[in-house]
């Protein structure tokens, strides 16, 4: 293995990655390039530059990837109606493949021999990052500090930070913070009181949503227009993917939509509890099924539903770039050109209701479904249909 002279670190400017930055410098005596993907998270550019420069970093890259993130990662996932274990909208999972890809591309550009991340040794993100790293850079050296160093607790991390003059942020109660991940699709919160599933999530941890009880007493109505399987306008105003999701986050969050409190099965075999806020994504998932219901035939919809649990699991486990995920995506998108029209929804105190579906799809026939007598549907054929299935029952 060649001597490591340069390392590209996925850097947020926060406590964990600032400690990692200092540790990498001390251990490897290498130049560290700090890389931040702006995926719509609450980003403090000043803190990123200040904290990195304070530790002697010369190259700091902050890259706006919001549009690419939503268009090429979030929207394809929404088209597949992906939900992990029936409830999680995969907000963290879907972000890691893009970050990993860009880290490798930057490593190649600047001749770095290694990449590093701040994922813990018990979490899923270490797998997601590293599968992405090795897909695009099979020979790259991956440094995962949480698996290698002796800072084996949050307490030790904070002690190390204070010793090296690294700022330790506080939460709203004046204590060291929860573990928080956010991007344009969601915010996740883990750790501290949330580790005990018997205890309710404190209201102050929520950042994007009001509680349903405090949401407006009047409903909010929205209209989403679809073309080629993706939303292209909100309330009759055309928007880019990222701007549309951002606007939906704001509207849905004010209406108390998108909260999930989940005990999930991590890929590495641990159960963990997380609280997720995905306001705009929750609306998009709901609307996507609604628009598909009038534009896709039964066989296609049922096939997609069959594939969805596996598709969601692949994303959760970090297999976004796998042949299997590509194959399933191709099946999901086979008839996406047929998915178009408008969906009107009512948002009220944490709930979403369908008001109307507007589509020119030939699949939904008013004449055929009408209870009024007509000649477009021959009911006599139903008898033969039932008899055929009686025979199948006995097989």
Q: Domain locations in the chain?
A: 6-69+96-170, 187-358
Does the pLDDT value for residue 241 go beyond 70?
Answer: yes
pLDDT in the model for residue 388? 84
Average of per-residue pLDDT across 297-321:
97
pTM check: above 0.75:
yes
Residue tagged 């409830």 (tokens): 87
Helical spans, DSSP H, in the chain = 15-28, 45-54, 66-69, 75-79, 96-110, 125-136, 145-148, 154-163, 241-254, 279-295, 298-317, 323-332, 366-369, 380-393
Percent of the chain past pLDDT 90, that is, above it, reads 78
Q: Say if residue 174's pLDDT is above 50.
A: no
How far apart are alpha carbons 229 and 295 in whole angstroms? 10
Name the residue with higher pLDDT: 193 or 77: 77
User: Rounded to 5 degrees, what angle do the CA atoms 13, 15, 18 make?
Assistant: 55
More reliable by pLDDT, 391 or 240:
240
pLDDT band at 157 (very low <50, low <70, confident <90, very high): confident
Which pLDDT tens digit goes with each residue over 127-138? 999 999 999 999
Query: Which residues are annotated as catalytic?
Result: 16, 96, 125, 179
**Second-level CATH architecture of 187-358:** Alpha-Beta Complex (3.90)
**Residue 78: pLDDT above 90?**
yes
pLDDT at 122: 86
Q: What is the pLDDT of residue 381?
A: 80
pLDDT in tens, 33-63: 999 999 999 888 998 999 899 999 999 999 9
Predicted confidence (pLDDT) per residue in 244-281, tens digit: 999 999 999 999 999 999 999 999 899 999 999 999 99
**Which CATH class, in words, describes the domain spanning 6-69+96-170?**
alpha beta
* Mean pLDDT rounded to a whole number for the chain: 92
Q: Please tell me the least confidently modeled range out of 12-26, 68-82, 359-373.
A: 359-373
Is residue 48 within 8 Å of residue 21, measured between CB atoms? Answer: no
Distance, in Å, from the CA atom of 368 to the CA atom of 377, rounded to the nearest integer, reads 6
Q: Can you give the pLDDT at residue 172? A: 45
């Amino acid at each position: 293995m060649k001597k490591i002279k340069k390392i590209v670190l996925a850097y947020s400017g926060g406590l964990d990655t600032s400690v990692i930055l200092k540790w990498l410098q001390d251990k490897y005596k290498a130049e560290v390039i700090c890389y931040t993907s702006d995926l719509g998270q609450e980003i403090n550019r000043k803190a990123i530059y200040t904290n990195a420069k304070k530790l002697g970093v010369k190259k700091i890259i902050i890259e706006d990837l919001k549009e690419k993130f939503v268009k090429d990662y979030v929207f394809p996932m929404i088209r597949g109606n992906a939900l992990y274990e029936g409830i999680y909208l995969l907000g963290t999972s879907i972000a890691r493949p893009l970050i990993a890809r860009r880290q490798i591309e930057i490593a190649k550009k600047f001749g770095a021999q290694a990449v590093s991340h701040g994922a813990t040794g018990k979490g899923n993100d270490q797998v997601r990052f590293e599968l992405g790293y090795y897909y695009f850079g099979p020979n790259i050296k991956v440094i995962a500090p949480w698996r290698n160093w002796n800072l084996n607790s949050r307490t030790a991390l904070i002690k190390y930070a204070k010793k090296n003059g690294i700022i330790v942020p506080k939460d709203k109660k004046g204590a060291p913070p929860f573990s928080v991940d956010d991007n344009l699709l969601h915010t996740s919160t883990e750790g501290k009181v949330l580790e005990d599933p018997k205890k309710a999530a404190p209201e102050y941890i929520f950042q994007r949503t009001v509680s349903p009880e405090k949401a407006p007493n009047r409903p909010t109505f929205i209209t989403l227009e679809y073309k080629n399987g993706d939303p292209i306008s909100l309330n009759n105003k055309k928007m880019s993917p990222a701007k549309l999701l951002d606007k939906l986050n704001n509207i849905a969050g004010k209406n108390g939509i998108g909260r999930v409190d989940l005990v999930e099965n991590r890929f590495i075999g641990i159960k963990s509890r997380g609280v997720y806020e995905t306001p705009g994504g929750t609306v998009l998932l709901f609307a996507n099924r609604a628009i598909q219901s009038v534009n896709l035939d039964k066989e296609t919809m049922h096939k997609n539903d069959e594939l969805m649990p596996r598709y969601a699991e692949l994303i959760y486990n970090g297999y976004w770039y796998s042949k299997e995920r590509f194959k399933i995506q191709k099946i999901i998108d086979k008839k996406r050109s047929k998915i178009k029209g408008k969906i009107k929804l009512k948002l009220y105190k944490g709930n979403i209701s369908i008001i109307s579906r507007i589509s020119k799809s030939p699949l939904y026939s008013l004449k055929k479904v009408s209870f009024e007598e007509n000649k477009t549907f021959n009911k006599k054929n139903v008898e033969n249909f039932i008899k055929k299935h009686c025979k199948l029952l006995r097989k």
